[in-house]
Every structure is written in C-alpha cells, then in structure tokens.
Structure 1
C-alpha cells in the first residue's frame, strides 16, 4: 500500500538539511552476519513505460515507513513527487518496495529513499535512478544486458581479484563484472537465475587450480552455511548486496529478476524430498516456499509471479519464464507422453502473450537452455535428455515451437543461462527429429561470478548446432572444470536500433566482445 504524504511530512522531507539528517542517526543496527558497508542498498525494477518498483532496505533495522522521493532532476529541483510506502519491520527483514505509477515514458527519474520512524525522526537512505521504457509506439534504440550465476561453487567476494577492462581500467576486488557491465550504460538488466547460491558454502580460502594460476582464493567474508531457514536465505541475498560494485550497478540499472535452482537447492523440482544434510527429509516444496519469500523480499519484483511480460518500445517485448515452480519431476524427463516445464497456466499465458505481441522482437528469457543437456542420468534438469526423440519436457517445447509457426509469430529469440559457459546455438528444422517449427536462435551466457564448466552435449531433437562456444573444455590447453573468475566468465548484451535491427553480443568478464550476431527482422 502507498499513500501520498501529508503537507507536514512533505515539508519535513523537503527542507531537512544534511546536518540535521546526519545528526539524527539512529542507534546501531542489530547484529547480522553480512553488512552493506556504509550505505543502504536500493534497486529499481519491473519498469514499464509508466511505472516502476523501487526497493530498499533499512540497515538500521528499525521499524519505519519507506518514503521515496522522485524527480526528473538529479538535484531534485522543480517538481518532486513523494510516495510513502508501507511499514518495514522484521516481517520482511526491513526491506520494502514502493510501486510508482503515472510516470512519463522514456524519461529518466532520480529517486531518494527516506526512512520515516515518526514525523520528526526521518533518516535518508540510498539514491538511484532509472529510465522508463519507451511507449509501445516509440522506436528508440534499446540496450540491455543479461547475466546469471553469482557466487557459486565457493567463489565468493575476493578482495584480491583484479581484471583490466576492455577500456584499460583496472578493476579490483569483489564482483568486478558489475563495474564492467555499468560501462555499457544498459537501459536495464535481466538476472536469469542463480543470483544467489543458497545451497553452497563459501569457505574463507579455496585453492585455485594450477592451470589457471594457482595460489589461494580469499573469500572476505566467508559463508559457512547452506540455507534452510528464512533468515539464512535472507543472509545469502545480503552477502551479495554487500559488494559495492553490485550495489552501484543496481542503483543505476533497473532489473528484471527470475530464479533458477540455486536460489533454493540444486536441480530441485516440486514434490522432491531432499534427503541430504542439512535438509534431512525436508520437502523441496517447503524449502522453495521459504526461498521464494526471500526472493521477493530482496528483489524489486512487482506482483506475486516470477513469469512476466514487459514491452519496451515498438521493437522489443520481454517474456520472463519461471521454469522451477510448475515443472514435473526430473527423473520423468524421458516420458514419451510429455512432462510439464511451465505448467498449463504459464504455458497458455506465454502462447497468448506471444500471439498478442505487436513488438518487432519477442525475446524469451528461459533460464534453462533448450538443447544443452544438464544433470546426470535420471536427473535431467533442463528441457532435453540427449536423445533424438521428443521426450519429457521437450513435448511442451515442441508444442510451443509449433504454435509460434502456426500463428505466424515472427522474430522470436531465446536468451538462456544455467550451464556456466557462453554459446550461440542455431536451430534448423532440416536437421531436426521434430521439424514443424521455424528456424531460430538461442544465446547462452554465464557465469558472471562462479565456477566455469562445460561444454555439454546438445540434444538433437530440434536440430541445434553450436555456432559459437567457449568453455573450459574448449580452451587450448583445456582448463579445469569449476574454473574461478576471471576464467571463461561472460555476460550478454542486446541492442535493438530504431529501425528494429537486433544485435546480440557475448562479452567476457572484461567486456571484450567474444561473439556478435546481427539479426534483421522479418516483416
């Protein structure tokens, strides 16, 4: 719930001075495992042409109302809007959101967060900015980035990690890739899952393989637990938000968040019983519900669903999928009668949304790759299994591809992640077992900061072929699996120009372009 401020509070916020604010600092926050340095973290997300969601956390850990002041001026001069949000408390770990509405399309806004404990007890929080989407008929250029896989396999925040970016800047310490991504000034970012590793510990020291330099990797701070309780899931989000480069990126770049498995536990599916410690017979459904609570508490997601659609001007429609909540069991992924990946409600929503889209390009963010085979025998976690026949979850994928063709839906592109290596894959019906679909592209990225793996085999059902591939196993000489940053790390960017031409780039951790593909739209 949000309310407009009364005049007294408006004047208090409008005239409060820096000295008064600093002089009225509240008591020190309660103990937490991980801190955010000197600043309260802020984020914006789920931006449309007329709305946005602002997220913040009160690091003083006092009950207070989240108040957001927004302006078109970085100095907050001229017209200013102030929105008072709900009370933050222990119920949400002192996180809060405000949904902004009535905004102008294609407009940069600046926001400043305040924490109102009472009319005369107001503390400033963080500041940030975002740009609203162009109106649906507006054909302005758009650039976005996407990434996945953050702080996995024990490779956490290392103060000694250093890279030289593509422009010569030396970046040192922590999640260096976010300072690189900021250099591209994206309109927004898609986080395609595994943005925490709730099921991984992060030791204080870790051996770096000799093939990539050797020595010790230092994690500061370390993380000595796997998440089971809500407090532990929250601490995973706080661990990553403790990185100053990540916080800077979030303050400047609106995000659209999804999830994959590691926000809960590796390769989980509904109905699974988790037998290993520390879960000890816990239902994956119970664990996932707790994980989802923390996901929504710590991300600027509007509403209560992970699958969502956002149009970004005349040429771009985004479709964000949830491939965890509604899937069938991994061991049944070779069932010739099919197996759910999306669930029927999400599947029908996706088909109808694609059919109704008026945008030139329809970009589907599927955190699981379409043909790259993942998981072991009996635990195939993505769509395919490695067999030519259309089995398991591929039945639903074949129905989607067939629908896109039958409805003459043009210019569909998939962006994916999960496998911890970058690739570009082209799907050609002429070489496929199932052929009733139009050719299309899939672009894969990752990890942004975790262990690098691969490559994996491709399932041949839909005629895929690697057009670009870089993984530890493709290097000369080969690098070990689970290679730490900066080795074989990547993120993706997409540009759509005013004429509707779409260009996909795959970048290494320094921002250097590894691969580029220009796609001209079908009209």
Structure 2
C-alpha cells in the first residue's frame, strides 16, 4: 500500500485535524495493530456507466472480500447484496465489480465493505451513488477535463486540495469524461515551491511522487496519490467517470518503441514502462475492459437518445514523433480509425461526442519533432493529419452529422471551429472542437493553430506565462448540457471555480 511520507507532510503544512480538514486523507493511520479490521484506503469510484449498471471500484489495505449493497433507496431498504472479488496484493489491493440489472436513468446508491477472508470482521462502510444512463429523450449534463497534479503542483492543504473537483461536483454532472493525463508519472513533486511573488506552494508528497515512475509499484503510487485528496474522493463517489489516457500516465510525449535518453530513467525502454503504467492504470481506474475494442482504452457509450461518447486512444497506436511529417502517418492506427468511423456511422444518437486525448489543429511540438496531430505545415494533410483527414472525409461521404470533438492536453481552454472554407482541403463537414484543462496542473498556452483543416480560435482563455500555478485562476473544466426535448447541445467552458467563461449552443 502507498504510505504517506509523514515527515514531508509535516513540512508541507502540519498533520492532524488541520490536514484532514484541508482535504487530505492519511492512509495507514486508521489502524494500528494486526487485529484491526480491514480498511478501504482510497474511497470508492464508479465508471463506464450504462443504462443498466456501471463498474464499481475500491481498494483495501489487506486481502479481503469486497462486499456491496445496491439500492434505489439511500436508506438501503430492500438492498441487493453482492459478493465482489477478493482484493489481493496481485492487483495492489484494488478490485472492481460489474453492477448489472439496474433500472435505466435512475439514481443508484451503493455501500461497500471489505470483509476479512475468515468472515469475522469487516471494514467501516463507504457509500456513494450514481445515475444509470437513460434510454430516451432525457436531459444530459456531463463535464470533461484532464491534466491532474502536473508540473510540480500537487495536493496543497493550504488551499483545500484539488478544489476544481468540488466545483465540478457542485454542477451535479451525470458523468465525467477524463480526457487523459490522469496522473503525472514523470513529474516528481517537491515539498514546497516558491512562487515568483514570494508565496510558497506546499505539496503533500509520497515516496512514489519523489521520482519519475519506473516500477509497477511506482506507477501504482501515482494513482494512489490523487485519491489522497478529499475533493477527488468525494467526486468519484458521486459521479461516474469515463477515463482515457494520454502521455503522462507513462512519460512525457511517449510513443511505442521509443528509447529514452533521459538521465532520470534507469529503464530506457518506453514499451516496458508503458506496460507497467497500463497495468496500474487499469487496476486503479473504474474501467470496463470488456467494452474496450481491444481490451485497452478505446470504447464507446450511449447515454440516452441524444448522446453517444466515443473514447479514443491516440497514444498507443501512434507512429514515432520523429516520423516524416510529409508522409502518411498514424495516430489512431487503421483498426481504431475504422472502428471510429463505423461506430459513428451506426450511432443513432443526436450528438456523437469524440473524446480525443490530443487536439486536432493545435501544433504540439516535441522539441524539433511533432507530438500531436498537426504537423505545423500548410497545405494538404500529411503525417498524422493524413489519418484524421481520412476520418473526416469518410464521415462527410457517409453524411454523418452532429459530431463534436472534446479534448484537453494543452493546459488551457478554447473553442475551435473547423471549416473546409478556410482549409487546404474541402472534402469534410464543418465541426467544433472544444478544449478544456488543466483540472489541477500548470497552465500554459495558447498553442499555434495549424491551417490544414481551417480552424478558427473562437475563444481562448490561457495564462500570460508558462506553468502558471493553480492559484492564478487558469484551471478549467468544460461542461456539456443536452436538452432532452429539443436536442440542443450547449457547451460551457468554465474556470476551476465553476464560473462560465464562454458558452455556445449548437442546434441538431
């Protein structure tokens, strides 16, 4: 289990009631002897919600059985009792239970315990709730963002922890779309950071956050860290997540087959690191691997008549950042690209939401190379743009309308409109891409737009200097609301306190 570095926490702002009130849980201090009952150490989460269920997640401090009660009544009268998996060190104490057979569009309450394997004692219960997906013309509200605990900005007890999660919870979304960079496995934390104006930012730190992650245990510690925050746990207990990954779950700007030349890594093979990171990711996130097209990340979810979400993986199948920018590159891979256009073609939802972990038109460099989709060159699509052009062209040819792209990655918020009238090619339909982040990390931007697909930055909110701390008001999340009666979709770009900075209503 991940133990908190108590000496470091003392230096980071005190221990005891003050820290607990500030939103930090201390794993390991709730029990002191081998006779103590099991403890659920990192809360409860739900994810990959459907019309009849969801994935329920928890973690225990010792081998024990996951026990679950499920009810439509918060008092748990007439609750259904379920025996979940045995939580063992093999999965770092984590476990998931697939809930099924639940009514559509209903509020579901759950209560979780961990029972000792001898059946003599059980943990204190943890409770949560979620709403199953509707099947008809229901109103839908969901939030999205990415980028958590990056660039040296971790859990700061002085400001109450990761408060953007509390702002999202106040919006009462039906689900949360986590657009990647769910952790920063390559971003060690320091106990304190002195800001340019002399203020001191204080971080809670754990041993796994003091260096770049390389071992499986260190990757597991990245996910455990974020769940130390009370705001994150409270949000996870009430709002189901649909999670994807990007680069920082492994290391910055990674691609398959890469060999690192960074001195901080003793393991230089990215494929080895990615395998360990993927295991930790799937252990610690409430993901239904049965729904993933290849058991990994990309998958889709219908949410009522009006919304279907297509979750992409633009990391696992991309070509090298050093690849020829003028050739025919890959960022989805042929199988995933066909899965996407075929899924969008079959979808009967009013709005098809494409959750992309990389923006389409923003130039995202990797030194002298290209990290993102856009190759930074004018003219016809090339490099990874070539594959995206095929997707857009095929959708236009099949007359697939109402496709909206959501992303994070670049650590600011923006609204981009793409049009063939401004593009180097004219064989695709106009569409919107909305960017929102970071949720709790350094703020950057704005990036330069590549002209190939004719983008226009309609709105941008970005800091004046790079790596602006979360104290300065440039944390962001986005919100999508779909009116059940009219089918109209409204996008809100919000700051970390929940204030709307800009909005746009799209007619079906």
Which structure 1 residue ranges, 5 or more long, are not aligned? 1-24, 31-36, 162-172, 473-478
Task: Note the 1:84-483 alignment, pairs <5 A.
Answer: 84-117=83-116, 118-135=118-135, 138-161=136-159, 173-210=160-197, 214-221=198-205, 223-280=209-266, 282-303=268-289, 304-332=295-323, 334-336=325-327, 338-389=328-379, 390-472=381-463, 479-483=464-468
CA distance in 1, matches of 2:64, 2:243: 26
- Tell me, what secondary structure is at the counterpart of 2:124? strand
Q: How far 1:106 moved relative to its partner? A: 0.4
Is structure 2 residue 82 aligned with structure 1 residue 83?
yes
Q: How far 1:126 moved relative to its partner? A: 1.6
Residue 479 of structure 2: which of 486, 490, 493 is its match?
493
CA distance in 1, matches of 2:34, 2:40: 12
CA distance in 2, matches of 1:183, 1:259: 25
Q: How far 1:188 moved relative to its partner? A: 0.4
Q: Deviations over 1:339-383 (max 9, x none)?
A: 111112211111110000000000001010001111235431110
Q: How far 1:307 moved relative to its partner? A: 0.4
Task: Identify the residue that residue 56 of structure 1 maps to in structure 2.
Answer: 58
Q: Deviations over 1:243-262 (max 9, x none)?
A: 00110000000000000000
CA distance in 2, matches of 1:326, 1:354: 20
Task: Identify the residue that residue 497 of structure 2 maps to in structure 1.
Answer: 510
| Aligned residues of 1:40 and 1:125 also touching (Cα < 8 A) | no
Task: Identify the residue that residue 69 of structure 2 maps to in structure 1.
Answer: 69
| Aligned residues of 1:228 and 1:278 also touching (Cα < 8 A) | no
CA distance in 2, matches of 1:331, 1:412: 31
Q: Compared with structure 1, are the counterparts of its residues 383 and 123 closer, same or farther at alpha carbon in structure 2 (3 Å cutoff)? A: same
CA distance in 1, matches of 2:42, 2:415: 38
Q: How far 1:385 moved relative to its partner? A: 1.6
CA RMSD of aligned residues (A): 1.6
Q: How far 1:82 moved relative to its partner? A: 1.6
| Aligned residues of 2:87 and 2:94 also touching (Cα < 8 A) | yes
| Aligned residues of 1:333 and 1:380 also touching (Cα < 8 A) | no
CA distance in 1, matches of 2:482, 2:422: 30
Q: How far 1:139 moved relative to its partner? A: 0.4
Q: How far 1:29 moved relative to its partner? A: 8.1
CA distance in 2, matches of 1:49, 1:29: 42
CA distance in 1, matches of 2:369, 2:210: 27
Task: Identify the residue that residue 3 of structure 2 maps to in structure 1.
Answer: none
Q: How far 1:507 moved relative to its partner? A: 0.3
| Aligned residues of 2:478 and 2:491 also touching (Cα < 8 A) | yes
Which portions of structure 1, spanning 4 or more consecutive aligned residues, are displaced by more than 3 angstroms? 25-30, 37-40
CA distance in 2, matches of 1:271, 1:438: 35
Q: How far 1:483 moved relative to its partner? A: 0.3
CA distance in 2, matches of 1:281, 1:81: 47
Total equivalences in the alignment: 465
| Aligned residues of 2:145 and 2:178 also touching (Cα < 8 A) | yes
TM-score, normalised with respect to structure 1 = 0.86
| Aligned residues of 2:214 and 2:267 also touching (Cα < 8 A) | no
| Aligned residues of 2:42 and 2:227 also touching (Cα < 8 A) | no
CA distance in 2, matches of 1:250, 1:393: 35
| Aligned residues of 2:267 and 2:273 also touching (Cα < 8 A) | no
- Tell me, what secondary structure is at the counterpart of 1:467? strand
Q: Compared with structure 1, are the counterparts of its residues 417 and 29 closer, same or farther at alpha carbon in structure 2 (3 Å cutoff)? A: farther
Q: How far 1:40 moved relative to its partner? A: 4.2
Which structure 2 residue ranges, 5 or more long, are not aligned? 1-29, 290-294
- Tell me, what secondary structure is at the counterpart of 2:339? helix
CA distance in 1, matches of 2:223, 2:267: 25
Q: Compared with structure 1, are the counterparts of its residues 273 and 341 closer, same or farther at alpha carbon in structure 2 (3 Å cutoff)? A: same
Q: Deviations over 1:396-416 (max 9, x none)?
A: 000000011000101000001
CA distance in 2, matches of 1:202, 1:236: 11
CA distance in 2, matches of 1:407, 1:133: 28
| Aligned residues of 2:212 and 2:265 also touching (Cα < 8 A) | no
- Tell me, what secondary structure is at the counterpart of 1:426? strand
Q: How far 1:289 moved relative to its partner? A: 0.6
Q: Compared with structure 1, are the counterparts of its residues 249 and 281 closer, same or farther at alpha carbon in structure 2 (3 Å cutoff)? A: closer
CA distance in 1, matches of 2:64, 2:194: 44
